[in-house]
Amino acid sequence: MRQISNHLPTAELQALDAAHHMHPFSANAGVAKKGVRIITRASGVTLTDSEGNEIVDGMAGLWCVNIGYGRRELAQVAARQMEELPFYNTFFQTSHVPAIALAARLAELAPGDLNHVFFAGSGSEANDTNIRMVRHYWALKGKPEKKAIISRRNAYHGSSMGSASLGGMAAMHAQGGMPIPDIHHIDQPHWYNEGGDMSPEEFGLERARQLEKKIEELGEDRVAAFIAEPIQGAGGVIVPPDSYWPEIQRICDRHEILLIADEVITGFGRTGNWFGSQTFNIRPHIMTVAKGLSSGYAPIGGSIVCDEVAGVIAEDEFNHGYTYSGHPVSAAVALENLRIIEEEGVIEHVREVAHPYLAERWHALAEHPLVGETKLVGLMGSLALTPDKARRAKFAAEPGTAGYIVRERCFANNVVMRHVWDRMVIAPPLVIRPAEIDLMIARATKALDEAHAELKAEGMLKAA
């Protein structure tokens, strides 16, 4: 067979991709027809494609490359670990040093008494673990009927049957028979789209109190846990009003249910602290981690579990685990990534340099005729597209049409910014420097200008 490499012409690679590669979250026929963009290498915050274009990655891959691309240390650690011990399992009374060291390090970093780690290969797997762990926990406590889990509409917790059921994405539930039984959803704290005439603070309280209503409706003795992302990521970087998390915490404290913080995006510096739970003063019983745990250099996820839950689970055989739970190469890579984040002061860089610098420029985009609001916590941000700022109006066109046009203009201007319906989101590598922020913002602004002109020319600047 002919060698397939970077050196093949783009068109040939595209044809092979179209013929054989099924892409996630894509309509493959459309992807094949248009032809994929092929990323060949990357360094720092910059991607290079097969045509030699240099692209500012405003999304850190998929919210994961926190320390930026091209860090040799991680490659070296991976190579060394593969030579020494490429794989061994952690079932059957065995362990290995990378898994031991990473579990101990995460226990040190995680707040409170989150001292125990159950490893998985991804965020989806970790959330599947959480479903089984919280239900088994209550069963061991003599309350097997306490198995309902409450989540939120438009939450994202992964794409496996369990984790996608936890998630609140209607389009995902519409395919494949979800949600699985006993998962319940309340509304999201998305003030811009759903807040109506309420103030953000009133609205935040109203949305938090839906949790208490749902607990009362189901019966406290039937509810195992509530799961939420400190900031919804894939749902559009929805930053809850300030009133929201304190009220959620009060409700969780008052009722006998477990709180799971899905920190897959918000963990490892993204919000300006090690964990989003610290930024929002949340005290979870379990945190889901993945993505930034290894900066995406190797697949790994996990659940960081408090003393009480881990202690109860420890008393019985937990009939659950993955071949790659605590994979030595991924664990070694994650440890090296955590070392770099700490020793190079990556989180301080977010807090003191990158966030303030980006905040000034990101919030200035609120002056753009197409932008209704801007949000930024640490280095995760979003902006709402609107045909009428004063009314927070939605477009008359099908939701997502305007967002798609802006994303296409970003693509053409060599900056990666994602759209979620008609909201644009960014989450660049945490190591991004001011000059790179300038470039990202300049290109994003040009994309917004071009999209605005296109929408106007097509008569699409109409409110619903």
Residues of the shown chain interacting with ligand PLP in the complex, contacts defined by CB under 6 A: 122-124, 127, 156-158, 229, 233-234, 262, 264-265, 290-291, 301
Choose between 81 and 303: whose C-beta lies nearer to ligand PLP: 303
- Taking the complex as a whole, the smallest distance from the CB of residue 124 to ligand PLP amounts, in Å, to 3
Residues 6+ apart with CB under 8 A from 181: none
Q: Is 425 in a helix, a strand, or coil?
A: strand
Closest separation in Å from C-beta 227 to ligand PLP: 9
Q: For the purposes of burial, counting CB atoms within 10 Å of the CB of 380, is it exposed (0-12), middle (13-18) or buried (19 or more)?
A: buried
Choose between 162 and 328: whose C-beta lies nearer to ligand PLP.
162
Alpha carbon distance 60, 390 (integer Å): 32
Nearer to ligand PLP, 157 or 190 (CB): 157
* Closest distance of CB 205 from ligand PLP, Å: 24
CA 294, 298, 301, 304 dihedral sign is negative
Q: How far is the CB of 366 from ligand PLP (least distance, A)?
A: 25
Q: Which lies closer to ligand PLP via its Cβ, residue 124 or residue 277?
A: 124
Residue 2 tokens read as: 């002919």
Q: Is 94 helix (H, G, I), strand (E, B) or coil?
A: coil
Neighbours of 424 (CB within 10 A): 29
Q: Identify which of residues 290 and 416 has a Cβ nearer to ligand PLP in the complex.
A: 290
> Whose Cβ is closer to ligand PLP: residue 265's or residue 455's?
265
Q: Which residue is nearest to ligand PLP (CB)?
A: 123
Whether residue 207 contacts residue 244, with contact meaning beta carbons closer than 8 Å, is answered with yes
Asked whether the beta carbons of 120 and 325 are under 8 A apart, the reply is yes
- 251 CB neighbour count, 10 Å cutoff: 20
CB of 17 to ligand PLP, least distance (A): 21
Q: Give the pair of three-digit tokens for residue 70.
A: 């091209």
Task: Compute the least distance from the CB of residue 88 to ligand PLP, in Å.
Answer: 23
Q: Considering beta carbons, is residue 261 or 306 the nearer one to ligand PLP?
A: 261
- Min dist CB 127 to ligand PLP, Å, is 6
Strand order in the sheet with 380-385: 371-377, 380-385, 423-426, 418-420
Query: Which of 153, 105, 154, 460 has its CA nearest to residue 289?
Result: 105
Cβ-based nearer residue to ligand PLP, 304 or 461: 304
CA distances from 201 to 195, 208, 245, 261, 262 (A): 10, 11, 11, 22, 23
Q: Which is nearer to ligand PLP, 233 or 387 (CB)?
A: 233
At closest approach, how far in Å is the CB of 375 from ligand PLP? 17
Q: How far apart are CA 66 and CA 157, in angstroms?
A: 19
**Distance separating alpha carbons of residues 152 and 91, to the nearest angstrom:** 34
Among 213, 223, 220, which residue's Cα sits nearest to residue 247?
213
CB of 288 to ligand PLP, least distance (A): 6
Identify which of residues 195 and 267 has a Cβ nearer to ligand PLP in the complex.
Answer: 267
φ/ψ (deg, to 5) at 447: -60, -40
In the complex, least distance from residue 158 CB atom to ligand PLP, rounded to whole angstroms:
4
Which neighbouring-strand residues pair with 286? 260, 305
Q: 381 has which bridge partners?
A: 376, 426
